[in-house]
Amino acid sequence: MEKRVQIDAIEPASYKGMFVLEDYLQKSQLSGTHKELIKIRASQINGCPFCIDMHTKDAMRNGESQQRIFLLNAWKELDLFTEEEKIILQVTEEVTMIHEKGLTSQTYKKAIEKFGEIYFSQIIMAIVTINSWNRIAISTHKPIED
């Protein structure tokens, strides 16, 4: 992979807005499990090696099982994930792949019913944030850290 500019090193002030979003998410009601599932799944869809590496490690440090992480891309076929998690993963996929059909009315209604407006809003912001990080890392070939 060709070496590219690392924005965080060259233009660190540009990350300030992203860190404001991260601070908001840290203070949100979102559970750690929900946040990491969103981050890993969106990063898988986008093909972001840096973010997949970072967030799978974070999830395992926070008690997530390797089996659930390894099987996350097959979540629809498994009973390893709760109903709540499956709704979150569906929202994550539909928002991440917004160019296909967007967030469907069916998924939106399920999510609002299950989580309410505030938690749902936090889910959306977590998805938007990781998709932004994915775009930065993929565009700059952010190297994976040991």
State how far the Cα of 125 lies from the Cα of 20, in Å rounded to an integer: 12
Q: Which pLDDT belongs to residue 91? A: 98
Q: Which pLDDT belongs to residue 146? A: 75
Per domain, the residue ranges of the chain are 28-140
- Coil, strand or helix: which one is 28? coil
> 10-residue block means of pLDDT along the chain (146 residues)?
92 93 97 98 98 97 96 96 98 97 97 98 98 97 89
Q: What is the pTM of this model?
A: 0.95
**What is the residue whose two structure tokens read 């969103």?**
38
Q: Which pLDDT belongs to residue 34? A: 98
| CATH architecture, domain defined by 28-140 | Up-down Bundle (1.20)
Q: Sign of dihedral through CA atoms 24, 27, 28, 34? A: positive
Q: Which pLDDT belongs to residue 107? A: 98
Q: Which pLDDT belongs to residue 56? A: 97
If residue 112 lies in a helix (H) or strand (E), which one and from where to where? helix 105-140
State how far the Cα of 16 lies from the Cα of 19, in Å rounded to an integer: 5
